[in-house]
Amino acid sequence: MPTLILTAKDVKELIDMPEVIEVVEKAFADWANGKAAMPPKAYVQVERGDFRAMPAAIPGGAGLKWVNVHPDNPSRNLPTVMAILIYNDPSTGYPLAIMDATELTAYRTGAAAAVASKYLARRDSRTLGLIGAGRQAHTQLMAHLSLFDLQEVRAYDRSPAATDRLIKAFPKTRIRAASLADAAESDIVCTVTPAHEPVLMKEHVRPGTHVNAIGADAAGKEELDPSILNNAVVVVDEIVQASRSGEINVPVSKGLFKVESIFATLGDIVSGKKVFERRPSAVTVFDSTGVAIEDVATAKLIYERARAEERYHAVDMVEA
Ligand SMILES: NC(=O)c1ccc[n+]([C@@H]2O[C@H](COP(=O)([O-])OP(=O)(O)OC[C@H]3O[C@@H](n4cnc5c(N)ncnc54)[C@H](O)[C@@H]3O)[C@@H](O)[C@H]2O)c1
């Protein structure tokens, strides 16, 4: 049996945001119900960035993503985040596919945030604020457009060129460049910067706002004023990962936020194990570090579509 080789171009042609949202939501429920396996991701630090190894098994699929984060890369005309994923048959271990997972990462990150917004944000949310307008902001927007009837999107980035690129990429969406305070005055706010100190401050956040804190995914990174967390319902994707490398990692290390104050994991909410009844004025925060079940669920989708549509290159990787 051949191993499929799926390039970035192949993956871009095969991936579809509404489907990714569906499988990511299911992966969180499966995991909460004990049907998936996932150790916390392992980090390898290097001078200009870091690498992460992210393995997981879900019903019908297993895999490992090897991904970097190098914040200076845009100045070298390279993406900050690039990834390769090995996708295996869990029953035999056979390597079914090796695929570029750069686009997959951006899609599943957007999808996870949109799933969090579906369960935590006000149902009548009509405005989206993007703080940071780089690569991940594009898929945050795409995912939220799939689930919400957005009347306006406000984008803030310290680089006006990044905001311009985002606006040009969504010609049919009502999206405009905004100040930080203006973007933060939205029903749903996604923070997607590589910041190491708070960008979004308590005074920016109105009652009733849902915040997806996406950018902090390694120790020392933080985008939110810790006092936002202390007055919010905080949901994380994975407790150990979030405490070590998510939005809460710096406040936890400084004693400004307690792990016990986490309300639930997203899996607990999606599976119904923990019920969240939103008060209209509550502020909710989803702390996303990015988990391997999201990657493997998306890889399974891409692999199955590639096979069904016979759109792939293949190699005999293993000598049977
Ligand atoms: N949670 C997850 O699952 C997940 C997944 C992928 C990436 N990430 C993280 O998301 C962050 C963004 O990734 P990306 O691929 O979009 O990077 P990117 O370099 O493409 O975009 C980041 C943008 O943030 C802007 N920015 C930086 N500091 C800012 C500040 N203080 N205020 C306003 N804007 C600022 C930059 O100008 C840039 O446009 C990174 O920290 C990355 O590690 C998280």
Signed CA dihedral, 225, 228, 80, 264: sign only? positive
Domain membership flag for residue 287: yes
Same domain, 182 and 271: yes
Ligand 1: does its nearest atom lie under 6 Å from the Cβ of 74? yes
Measure the CA dihedral 35/36/39/42, to 10°: -170
Ligand 1 pocket test, candidate residues 52, 80, 286, most atoms within 8 A of CB: 80
Please say whether the beta carbons of 241 and 41 come within 8 A: yes
The pLDDT assigned to 202 comes to: 97
Domain membership flag for residue 320: no
Same domain, 42 and 176: no
Same domain, 268 and 196: yes
The pLDDT assigned to 218 comes to: 87
Ligand 1: does its nearest atom lie under 6 Å from the Cβ of 222? no
Each residue's pLDDT tens digit, 255-276: 999 999 999 999 999 999 999 9
Each residue's pLDDT tens digit, 267-311: 999 999 999 999 999 999 999 999 999 999 999 999 999 999 998
Q: Which residues of the chain have pLDDT under 70?
A: none
Ligand 1: does its nearest atom lie under 6 Å from the Cβ of 194? yes
φ, ψ of residue 59 in degrees (nearest 5): -55, 120
**Secondary structure letter of residue 185 according to DSSP:** S
Same domain, 123 and 222: yes
194 alpha carbon to ligand 1 midpoint, in Å? Answer: 4
Whole-structure pTM value:
0.96
Question: Which atom of ligand 1 is found nearest the CA of 216?
Answer: 41
Residue 135: which CATH number? 3.40.50.720
- Which domain covers residue 124, as residue numbers? 110-291
Residue 62: which CATH number? 3.30.1780.10
Instruction: Find residue 154's DSSP bridge partners.
Output: 129, 176
Q: Encoding tokens for residue 242?
A: 């979030």
Same domain, 20 and 84: yes
Same domain, 272 and 305: no
Residues tagged active-site: 65
- Number of domains making up the chain: 2
Ligand 1: does its nearest atom lie under 6 Å from the Cβ of 224? no
Each residue's pLDDT tens digit, 119-133: 999 999 999 999 999
